[in-house]
Amino acid sequence: NAGVTQTPKFQVLKTGQSMTLQCAQDMNHNSMYWYRQDPGMGLRLIYYSASEGTTDKGEVPNGYNVSRLNKREFSLRLESAAPSQTSVYFCASTQGAQNIQYFGAGTRLSVL
Amino acid sequence: QKEVEQDPGPLSVPEGAIVSLNCTYSNSAFQYFMWYRQYSRKGPELLMYTYSSGNKEDGRFTAQVDKSSKYISLFIRDSQPSDSATYLCAMRRGGGSNYKLTFGKGTLLTVNP
Query: What confidence tens digit (pLDDT) does each residue in B35-75 have?
Result: 999 999 999 999 999 987 889 999 999 999 999 999 999 99
pLDDT value at position B108?
Answer: 94
pLDDT value at position A87?
Answer: 97
How many helices (DSSP H) and strands (DSSP E) are in chain A? 0, 11
Report which DSSP code applies to A41: T
Which of B4, B10, B1 is closest to B111 using CA atoms? B10
Query: What confidence tens digit (pLDDT) does each residue in A53-76 have?
Result: 899 999 999 999 999 989 999 999
Whole-number average pLDDT of chain A: 93
pLDDT value at position B95?
Answer: 67
| Interchain contact, A100 vs B43, CB within 8 Å | no
Q: Using an 8 Å CB-CB cutoff, list chain B residues near A102.
A: 46
Q: Give me the residues of A, 53-92, that contact B with CB < 8 A.
A: 58, 90, 92
Q: How far is CA A88 from the centre of its chain?
A: 10
Cα–Cα distance measured from residue B85 to residue B39, given in angstroms and rounded to the nearest whole number: 5
Q: What are the residue ranges in chain A where pLDDT is below 70? A: 1
Chain A interface mutation, best of B46, B89, B99, highest count of A Cβ atoms under 10 Å = B99
**Is the sign of the CA dihedral B15, A40, B8, B86 positive or negative?**
negative
- Does residue B98 surpass a pLDDT of 80? no
Which of A21, A20, A31, A22 is closest to A71 using CA atoms? A31
The DSSP code sequence of B30-67 is EEEEEEEEE-TTS--EEEEEEESSEEEEETTEEEEEET
Interval B18-37 mean pLDDT: 94
Q: Using an 8 Å CB-CB cutoff, list chain B residues near A47.
A: none
| Interchain contact, A101 vs B42, CB within 8 Å | no
Say whether residue A106 is in contact with chain B using an 8 A CB cutoff: yes
Cα–Cα distance measured from residue A84 to residue A28, given in angstroms and rounded to the nearest whole number: 33
pLDDT value at position B57?
Answer: 94
Collapsed DSSP state (helix, strand, coil) of residue A26: coil
Collapsed DSSP state (helix, strand, coil) of residue B82: helix
- Does residue B96 surpass a pLDDT of 90? no
- Rounded to 5°, the CA angle B70-B76-B81 comes to 135
pLDDT value at position A8?
Answer: 96
Which of A48, A21, A22, A46 is closest to A35 using CA atoms? A46
Query: What confidence tens digit (pLDDT) does each residue in B76-94 have?
Result: 999 999 999 999 999 988 7
